[in-house]
Amino acid sequence: MNSLRTIFSAILSSALVVLMIGCSSAPTKNSVALPSVSDISPLQKKVIAAAKKRLGAPYCYGGTAKCMDCSGLIVTIYQDIGITLPRTSAQQFSTGKYIEPDEATVGDLIFFRNKSGNINHVGLYVGDNKLLHASSSKGVIVQPLNDPYLANGFAGIRRFLPDNAIN
């Protein structure tokens, strides 16, 4: 996880990145497939299975079914595994368990702030330094965390999976 810490350190210290992320922003990279992850718990495997079902779903503000926004995507993934989360990214950020960047694992949520400092975007960490999230222009995609689109506005990581269900 040192590489994840390095990526986050570089992201947070970069003064050159000026674009801010939001659920309504368009990513600059094409989507990539979910990474294959080994050595994860059965519950984490269920999170990945639930996430795979949503890949390619279109974006719509407030959506949680055939189309979805960033926090709606997260709510539906977690509903599939029997965990109820708050509806908005700001509520999710304020209720999840704080996780250090170097401790992030599959199933953790990564949050971003807008220029005003408000939490406005969330994605699911799927391993291999990649994030599954809802893009307004491309729907549900997976992007590398070092993508410039995701680089700005990092706010923190929260965990909703039980600690005893994490490998």
- Going from N- to C-terminal start, the domains of the chain cover 2-165
| Whole-Å CA distances, 142 to 48, 71, 94, 130 | 12, 15, 24, 6
Tell me whether residue 60 is one of the annotated catalytic residues: no
| Whole-Å CA distances, 105 to 29, 69, 72, 110, 121 | 23, 23, 21, 11, 19
User: Looking at residue 27, what DSSP letter applies?
Assistant: P
pLDDT digits (tens, 9 = 90+) for 74-109: 999 999 999 999 999 999 999 999 999 999 999 999
Query: Is pLDDT of 5 > 50?
Result: no
Looking at this protein, which amino acid is placed at residue 126? V
Active-site position among 23, 60, 67, 121: 121
User: Looking at residue 35, what DSSP letter applies?
Assistant: P
Tell me whether residue 133 is one of the annotated catalytic residues: yes
Encoded tokens for 1 = 């996880």
What is the radius of gyration, based on Cα positions, of the chain? 14
- What CATH code is assigned to 2-165? 3.90.1720.10
Query: Is pLDDT of 25 > 60?
Result: no
Tell me whether residue 121 is one of the annotated catalytic residues: yes
Q: Give the pLDDT of residue 35.
A: 62
